[in-house]
Structure 1
C-alpha cells in the first residue's frame, strides 16, 4: 500500500514537472514570436532632420535572391495633368508582378507646405524648408528616391497612406489593385499615426524587383540626380497635345477659379508650355545624351491610336514582356467593349474608343482657344510633331 502511494506521488510529481516544462517552452516561443512581430512592425529607425540620400552609392541593376540574380526594372512615368497618364499607369497597375504607385507625391503637392508630416517612427515635422533642410522640389525628389529604394523610414506616412481616414485618392478607382491587403489595413484606422502599423505590408510589396511610379509633380529638369543614383531607373516621358490637355483641364474644372478670373486660359497655357514643356524638352535631350537608352518619349495619341503596338514598345523599353492579362485588359479598355460614360471621371481609364477620345478635342475646341494655345505653344507643338491648329481646322472643314 505504501509502495502504491509512493508511485502515485511520483507520477503526480512527474506530471507537474512535465506541464511546467511545456508552459516554460510555450512562454519562450511566444516571446520569440512577439519579438519577431514587433521587429516587423517597428522596423523603423530614428530619422534625421534632413532626408537627403544623395551620398548613397548607385544602385545596380541586379538583385541577389537566394543565390541567383533577378533583373531590376524601375520606371518613372513623368508627365503632366490630363495627359493620359492614368491609361499608361494601368499598363503597370494591371501587372501582378509590378509594384505600382499612382501619384505618390500627390498629398505633398496639394496641401500647404506648412502642414505637419508624420513619419514611421511617429515623429512629426512641419513641411517647411526649415524642418527638412530642402527646397520643395528637392524634398519631393528625395521622397521619390526613398520610394524607389523602399526606404519608408524616410517617407512621410502622409505619402504612403494619404487622406486619412477615407484614403480616397489611394483607394478609389482600383488605382492599386495589387495592394489590396495594405489598403484594407489602412482603412481599419482613423489616424495617420495608426496607419503606421500597416507600413510593413506595403514594404513587403515594394520589395518586388519591378516597380513603377506615376509622377506629375517632378519635371524632366529634376531627374538627373535620380538617374545618376539609380542605374535601373528608366524614364517614360509621357506627353499629350497641349491643346487637348488644356481643354480637358477646363472641362473637369482643374484650373483654379482665381486663375480663370485673372487671365482666363492664358496663364495655364503659358505655364504648361513656356514654364514646363519647353524646359522639359531641353532637359530630355540633355538627359538622353548623358543616359542613353534610359529615356523614352511617348505621345499619348500614339498609344491611343495603336494601343497594343505602343504598349509592347513600352514593355520592350523597360526590358520586359507585356503579360497576357495586361494585353487583354488593354484591348477591352481601348476598343469600345466597356459600356458607360466615355469620360465620367477625370482619373478614370474606361474609354469607348481610345483613338476617338484622344482626338475628340479637335472637333470641340473653340477656335479662339485653339489659336491662342498655338500662339504660346507653337514650339512645343512643332517639336513633338503635332499639326498646327490651322491645318487641323482645314481638315475638319473638308470632312464637313
Structure 2
C-alpha cells in the first residue's frame, strides 16, 4: 500500500468511464473501467441516463483503487475529462436528471438548426462561437429539452441546472456544492463567446435559454471544489482540473506549441491543431478553446468525424458480425483488401467538413462474393478515410 500523494483522473466517455490513478511522477498505478448504456429510441436519436454515467464513474473509481490496492486517503487531487456536448438537465435540489441526456451524436435537433439558419443566424453563430449550426452542439439540445419536456418555467426559476458531462460530475463529486464548467466544454455549447470566454446573451436569446440555467465558467486548471459524499472516496479531496476529452488529448499528447497537432480515434475521430492565441474561422472546420490556463485562452482548430470506433460497436451490437471489438482486427485481416466494398460512416450524419446531419451510412460495392471480412475491413478503412 502506497503512502505517496496520488492523482485520480476520471475520463467519462461515450461508451464508458475510465479512471486512472497516477503517482507523483505521473506513472500509472492502476485503472478501472465501467461501460455505460446508450439508447437509440428513434433513427438518429442517441441518449443516455445521466445517473448511469455517474454510477459508471463510481464503479470505475472502486475498481481502480481495488486493482492497485490503493488507499483513497492518499489521493491528493482529482481531474476530470469528458465526452463533450452531451447535454444534461438536473434538479438542483436532488441532483437527479429531469430528462434523458442527449448525446453529442444525436441528430434530433436538426429542425431547430434549420430554423436558426432560415433566420439568417448561421454566420452570426459561426463568428461568435467558432462553431456551425449543427445538432452536434449543446445549445439546440437544451432548447429541445426545455420545450419538449415543458421545463422552461423550472429553468427560469433557477430550479434546474444545465451542464455538459463535466458539470454534472462536478455537481455530484462535490455533493451539489459546485455548478461549474471549464472554458473548453463551454466553447462547445453555441452559447459562449469564443473571444471573450463568457456566456453571451445574444447567443442565448435565439435559443430561449435562461442564463439561470448555466454553470460558471472557470479556467481548465482551477480549484473547483472538494469531494463530498462520493462512494469510496473521503470528503475534502480537491478537484483541480477539467478539460473536454479532445482538448485533454491535445494537451496530454504534448501538442502545447502553436502548430502542434494530434488525431484521436475513439467513438469518433478528431483531428485538432493548436493555433495559439489566434482565432481563425473556417467554414468546414471548428474553432474552439484548446485550454484556459490562468484566464489566458489558447485556441485550436478541429475536424470532427462522428463515427470511428462507434462503427465497430455497431458491427458488434447491432449486426452481430463480431462478439468483441477486438475481433474486428482478425476478421479484417482474413481478406487482403475490402473487395471493392466502401463504407461511409455517416451513422449519425456527417461532421467536418461536410456538416450534413441528414446524411446516412452506406455500404457500397457489395457483390455475391462479399464476405464478412470485406465488411469489417471496409469499416476500418472508412473510419480512417474520413
Fold in common (TM above 0.5): no
Instruction: Flag the structure with higher helix content.
Output: 1
TM-score scaled to structure 1, two decimals? 0.23
